[in-house]
Amino acid sequence: MSKTRCSFMTLIALCLILASCGRQTNSSGNTDSDIKTKDNIVIGFSQLGAESDWRSANTESMKASLTLQNGYELVFDDGQQRQANQITAIRSFIQQEVDYIVLAPVTETGWDTVLSEVKDAKIPVIIVDRMVDVSDESLFTCWVGSDFELEAKKATGWLESFLAEQKISPEEVHIVNIQGTIGASAQIGRTKGLADAAAANGWDLKEEVSGEFTQTKGREVMEYFLNKYNDINVVYCENDNEAFGAIEAIESAGKTVGNRITEGEIMIISFDGVSEEALNKALEAKIACITECNPLHGPRVKAIIDTLEAGGIPDKFEYVDENIFSAYDAIDWIMVDETEYPVIKLTSQVIKQRLDSFQ
């Protein structure tokens, strides 16, 4: 299946594209990758950006799985959170005649035209992480990622139980939402899950503003909320980096983060749980609850490509298993497979030390 030859003209076209692009690297880490010359399987990976710890872990997972040693050449492109950049990258992958295109799309819509071009070029497309909303599902081979609405249901379910345990009535709950990038599946699912739960429980959902999944924006949005409202007691952050920014803003304003048990004034809920910083904040209850978003798609994409290379048909949609953690059940982290999850391995050691110190 691997296409290993490029014509001289293709080579010239490729050099021109890469010279104008400059964000692409190949598996050997060189910028402006040479065209393929060996029998490796060449994969163009359009990563949407580098906005969060989750994204860095996701990129690392892809790079660690799709290595030259394993017979894959990864041409990596960072879209810097802009769909136009991703579309340019995909067109350059077509010109390069890569064997597969992997796309982590920044938002759901707007992919029909470019994915039709990929289909015409007969290159299989694997979508990872967020979903694409296209009129024809044959425009991509398969998708692997998270059920973001389910994540939100887990997070809001945890909040419901916590409030019930603490005998806090719904009218006392005043929530703001720092949303992710508008139009991204992770934002759409998590925002919907909160809105549904707020309506069902009678919580006061005051306002939703995008923090674009970044710490800097998360802080800015939280400052805006704190200036506007004086009764916020729950902040729903659509990822951990936004939560870090929100904590900075709250503490700078002279308020405390935590929950009723730790006597914090404002309770933070977030998503991801891939960094040691996030898990430590959960242990301290500065983040009251984190719903896991699993970034380890590298081995899954490798398995999909191996299936396709062997003539098999992968599942069209593959949802990954995910968990939920709070300060009170952090011990569950220890149960996570440490060999697969290096960040957790580190964190598990921190948790074990903490638990030992309490005995």
Residue among 228, 226, 150, 257 nearest 193 (CA): 150
Q: Are 250 and 221 in contact (CB under 8 A)?
A: no
Among 143, 271, 333, 341, binds ligand AHR (CB under 6 A): 271
Residues 230-249 that bind ligand AHR (CB under 6 A): 239
Cα 40 to Cα 68: distance, rounded to the nearest angstrom: 7
Among 272, 291, 302, 304, binds ligand AHR (CB under 6 A): 272
For the chain, report the end-to-end CA distance as a whole number of angstroms.
58
- CB of 73 or CB of 240, closer to ligand AHR: 240
Within 13 A of 80's CA, how many CA atoms are on the CB side?
Answer: 8
Q: Taking CB under 6 A as the rule, does residue 213 contact ligand AHR? A: yes
Shortest distance in whole angstroms from residue 58 CB to ligand AHR = 8
Q: Taking CB under 6 A as the rule, does residue 281 contact ligand AHR? A: no
Give the interface segment with ligand AHR, choosing from 46-54, 224-232, 279-287, 340-348 (CB under 6 A).
46-54
Close Cβ partners of 110 (under 8 Å, ≥ 6 residues apart) = 83
Shortest distance in whole angstroms from residue 293 CB to ligand AHR = 4
Q: Taking CB under 6 A as the rule, does residue 101 contact ligand AHR? A: no
Give the interface segment with ligand AHR, choosing from 52-60, 243-251, 316-324, 337-345 (CB under 6 A).
52-60
Q: Taking CB under 6 A as the rule, does residue 129 contact ligand AHR? A: yes
DSSP, residue by residue, 309-353: HTT----SEEEPP--EEETTSGGGGGGS-TTT-HHHHHHHHHHHH
Q: Tokens in use for 145? A: 């990622």
Q: Taking CB under 6 A as the rule, does residue 210 contact ligand AHR? A: no
Cα 116 to Cα 138: distance, rounded to the nearest angstrom: 9
Among 14, 51, 279, 304, binds ligand AHR (CB under 6 A): 51
Q: Taking CB under 6 A as the rule, does residue 130 contact ligand AHR? A: yes
Residue ranges in contact with ligand AHR by CB under 6 A: 51-52, 54-55, 129-130, 186, 213, 239, 271-272, 293
